[in-house]
């Protein structure tokens, strides 16, 4: 997406200018999906170097990821998302005392986007820890915080054909590992995106796994047939 082209659609209530929290990037397939949505000009993705550092540090420490591979991935993301970086948000951090202290920089960056970078346009702050961002913190701002699954569900509801096409293209580009459509649906379920997962399963005519009480995924058809099978 070149320049400052807004990804939103006239009449749409869903912000398409998106500040992505580090915990979204932490999941590789979710990171891929947002970047492909950006490439397709469905959304306009932004982040900060502070968010980069949080993500890259944690993915190495917690997942044992290769440092060089992560840096290569990061370089590709920067190249794909011209204008990704939010500058000068630090002066707004103190405004967000209601936000968890470790996440105030994220709220401030989203606010900076709405205030100066995209003045007059709503900005979606997309995170996996929406409870750390109380709605009251964003009163009188253009920032709307979304749990990642809720945002993707809403996006699919607005432009279903486009989101399905982008998701399938994202899946087809995967090489390590390759994923079938059924496996990709399972990945979405593992990341809490049950609405989008079910929609894709219906569109692709594959089974969507269910979530067991212990958090594991299983396929109801196999359970009913007396052949319990957990999703990969």
Count CA atoms within 13 Å of residue 77 on its CB side.
Answer: 25
Q: pTM, whole model, 2 decimals?
A: 0.90
Q: In which element (H, E) is residue 58 found? A: helix 49-63
CATH of 17-154, one of 3.30.310, 3.40.50, 3.40.1350, 2.30.30: 3.40.50
Q: Residues of the chain whose pLDDT is less than 50?
A: 1-4, 8-11, 227-228
Burial class (CB in 10 A: 0-12, 13-18, 19+), 80: middle
Domain ranges of the chain: 17-154, 179-232
Give the pLDDT of residue 7: 59
Q: In which element (H, E) is residue 31 found? A: helix 28-39
Contact 167, 181 (CB under 8 A): no
Give the pLDDT of residue 1: 41
């Amino acid at each position: 997406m070149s320049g400052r082209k807004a990804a939103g659609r006239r009449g749409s209530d869903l912000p398409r200018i998106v500040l992505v929290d580090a915990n979204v990037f932490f999941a590789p397939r979710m990171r891929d999906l947002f970047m492909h949505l950006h490439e397709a000009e469905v959304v306009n993705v932004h982040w900060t170097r502070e968010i980069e550092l949080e993500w890259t540090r944690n993915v190495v420490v917690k997942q044992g990821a290769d440092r060089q591979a992560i840096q290569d991935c990061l370089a590709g993301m920067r190249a794909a998302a011209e204008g990704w970086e939010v500058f000068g948000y630090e002066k707004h951090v103190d405004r967000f005392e209601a936000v968890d202290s470790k996440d105030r920089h994220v709220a401030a960056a989203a606010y900076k986007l709405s205030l100066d970078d995209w003045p007059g346009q709503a900005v979606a702050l997309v995170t996996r820890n929406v409870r750390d961002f109380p709605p009251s913190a964003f009163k009188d701002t253009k920032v709307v915080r979304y749990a990642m699954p809720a945002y993707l569900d809403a996006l699919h509801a607005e432009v279903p054909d486009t989101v399905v096409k982008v998701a399938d293209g994202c899946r087809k580009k995967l090489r390590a590992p390759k994923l079938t459509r059924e496996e990709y649906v399972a990945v979405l379920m593992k990341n809490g995106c049950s609405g989008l997962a079910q929609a894709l399963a219906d569109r692709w005519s594959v089974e969507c796994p269910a979530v067991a009480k212990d958090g594991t995924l299983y396929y109801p058809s196999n359970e009913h047939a007396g052949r319990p099978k957990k999703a990969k």
